[in-house]
Structure 1
Amino acid sequence: MTRRAGRALIVLMLAAILLAPPSARAEEPPLLAVVSQQAGRLTLVDPVAGRVVGEIALDKVPAGIAVTRDGRTAYVTHPDLGQVSRVDLTAPAVTARYRIGREPFGIALDSRDESLLVTDWSGDALIQLDAATGAELGRVTVGRSPAGVVLDQDGAHAYVADRESHTVSVVDLAQMRRVATWPTGTAPFALALSPDGRRLYVANVRSNDLSVLEIPNGREIARPRVGLMPYGVAVSSDGARVVVTNQQSGKLAWLEAGTGTVHSEERIGEYPEGVLNVGGGLFAVALWADDALCIVPDIPGSGCRSVIKLPPGPRLLAVAPRQTGPQ
């Protein structure tokens, strides 16, 4: 091939890439939706570019957040108001307010984004709401002061961290019935599932450790000490590593998922709380006292790749996929 022909081929290849429809190009990375509790704000962040791309005013003291799979709608709990806010991320604005329980805190969407599962901190219950209308569809009594909630891979069961009962409640969602109670360390708060759905990782705030539970039997196979007041937990995409935020020490602990042993620790900022696997080899950590979001590569000891300033009191966060379909 001549040099001129080679240059012509490169031009044609670049043109094909640029003119290709969006579906033919590489998928854009998701955004992050971060709730700032003190400021009463929801911030949309591009974790790859390391910048804020949007901000939405919320009612006071927002806490938990869940986002639909199309990235268009977020649901935010407000424990002090007994309320869940529905937020249109395309508007962007709060479009509905649902009254629920006493102190709604943790929140998750079902596998079809049709209903919400919300923990009621002072009501000791898991409540199911219609996501479109806010109508209560069911509730079940769980342990005392339920905090985090996650669903299994097929959406059949919810796992609830019962902070003051020191257990995880397993709820059959088809019947809205508690079918098992699994012991943990002291004051379980945050939960994360392994990618294969066979292990549940539970951060225990007061015993400063991590319960590693087998699914479906709930047997605790390890409980390593991870640091002072672990408030968040996430798992790498390949399931090989677990990361835990330790609020009081300002550190991120890295664990080997296979053995449950702590691999290393690194200081990342003041009062780290929520942590999330963003995908693309990145984790995001909300730094409460620094009013910032730390983007951490999935490499132990690598530190923050970028630090993004946020409104005061960032605490919990969720992946917000780039919006798809007609706008």
Structure 2
Amino acid sequence: MSRRARRPAGWPRAAILALIVTLPVPAAPGQAGPQVVPQVVPQAGPIVAVVSQQAGVVTLIDADAAVVVAEIAVPRVPAGIAASADGRTLYVTHPDPGLVSRIDVAGRRLEASFRVGREPFAIAVIEEGRALLVTDWAGNALIRVDAATGRETGRAATGRSPAGLVVDAAAGRAYVADRESQQVSVIDIAAMTRTATIATGRAPFALALSPGGERLYVANVQSGDLSVIDTATHVETARVKVGLMPYGVAATPDRRAILVANQQGGTVAIIDAASDRVIARTRLGDYPEGIVALDSRRAAMASWAGDAVVILDIAGARGTDHIAVGAGPRSLVVLPAPEDDGPAAEGVRP
């Protein structure tokens, strides 16, 4: 049976369970050692880190040169990924083994893996790298942990099956997509309490914030649309039809465009941020998954069934490069350059 045939339309637990192995915590020395691909060109451009769920690797890509610069083995069934603000550390979730892994980017190596909740899924780095926020799909919670030790330091209740996560650091808030509750939970990070819920379309999954944090964009998998939410009022101001099963969303830094990856539709929808209107759709990759803006002109998208990362020319609504990666790429993050404030991250799906 092909990978596409055994991929269910909802939560692909059957596919995930097929990849489970028993792992010690932390990983035994040498168990998940790095597999470094020789660097072809200097890393001058943005570096994209992509999780390949079936291959059990994190791949680093120079987006300008469109080449793989490193491949790092991680524990099985990786799902979500986040980067520290200095770009030196990556964190990866593994829902079925219940692990979060920490990767030393410069050393190209897995440093440690620790247990978090029941099924850690989406992840974000907060408090200048000292802490992590992790959604627990089975525990219906957002968990704060110490980034160095993995020790839980706080927990907030969410709706059922919390998936995507995005943080507004300036406002001290986290937004969690509660997939089976058809809502977004708003979490006060300092108090680790839920302060509000916002109704969305069916099966909200991936989240993105506008550059200034004024708008929250929510990809609703089952209703095939995008909820546009005013973060000051918690009111949905628009609902935009985007395509079949949207699983990735990103906002461009220039505030002009919203990008939505439609997994079953095999397309990326480009939305004008001012009018909330779809201005282009382009077929891109095979089973599009996570998507992240590299800058205001380009984006990178994971092609799950194509085992590739595709670079998108936004203005031209076309793919410019296909970079082969390990089997089952799902979520991506851009490693910030030294002058950047932080990474642009994308949610992922159980």
Q: Distance in 2 between matches of 1:300 and 1:114?
A: 40
Q: Sequence identity of aligned pairs in percent?
A: 53
Q: Which runs of 4+ in 1 moved over 2 A?
A: 27-30, 321-324
Q: Letter of the 1:309 partner, please give it.
A: A
Whole-angstrom CA distance in 2 between matches of 1:258 and 1:304: 24
Question: For residues 141-181 of structure 1, what are the alpha-carbon distances to aligned partners after superposition, in whole Å with 9 as ceiling and x for unaligned?
Answer: 10100001111141500000000000000000110000000
Superposition pairs for residues 84-123 of structure 1, below 5 Å? Answer: 84-123=100-139
Query: Which structure has the bigger radius of gyration?
Result: 1
Q: 1: distance between equivalents of 2:285 and 2:199? A: 31
Counterparts of 2:175 and 2:121, CA distance in 1: 14
> Is the CA contact (8 Å cut-off) linking 1:156 and 1:174 kept in structure 2?
yes
Deviation, 1:30, is 2.4
Deviations 1:217-264, CA, capped at 9 Å, x for gaps: 111010011000000000111111111000001100011111211111
Paired residue secondary structure (2:240): coil
8 A Cα contact 1:28 1:322, kept in partner: no
Aligned to 2:330: 315
2:222 to 202, 206, 209: 206
Q: What residue number does 2:89 align with?
A: 73
Deviations 1:119-155 (A, max 9, x none): 0001000000011111111001101000011111415
Q: Does 1:263 align with 2:262?
A: no
Which structure 2 segments of 5+ residues have no match? 1-42, 340-350
Deviation of the 1:281 alpha carbon: 2.1
Q: Which moved more, 1:261-270 or 1:164-173?
A: 261-270
Measured in 1, the distance between the counterparts of 2:120 and 2:85 equals 22
Residues 156-207 of structure 1: CA deviation (Å, up to 9, x unaligned): 0000000000000000011000000000000000000001110000000000
- Cα distance in structure 1, aligned partners of 2:110 and 2:316: 38
Which blocks of at least 5 consecutive residues in structure 1 are unaligned? Answer: 1-26
TM-score of the pair, normalised by structure 1: 0.88
Which of 206, 227, 240 aligns to 1:190? It is 206
> Aligned match of 1:157 in 168, 173, 186?
173
Structure 2 length-normalised TM: 0.83
1:45-82 CA distances to partner (integer Å, 9 max, x unpaired)?
00110000000001100000001121111000000110
Separation in structure 1 between the aligned mates of residue 118 and residue 335 of structure 2, nearest angstrom: 27
Mapped to 2, the partners of 1:157 and 1:29 lie a distance apart of: 31
SS at match of 1:293: strand
Count residues with an aligned counterpart.
297
Q: In structure 1, what is the Cα distance between the partners aligned to 2:50 and 2:127?
A: 22
* Aligned residues: CA RMSD: 1.4
**Residue 308 of structure 2 contacts residue 325 of structure 2 at CA under 8 Å; is this kept in 1?**
yes
Contact kept, 8 Å, 1:111 with 1:155, in 2: the verdict is no
Shift of 1:112: 1.2
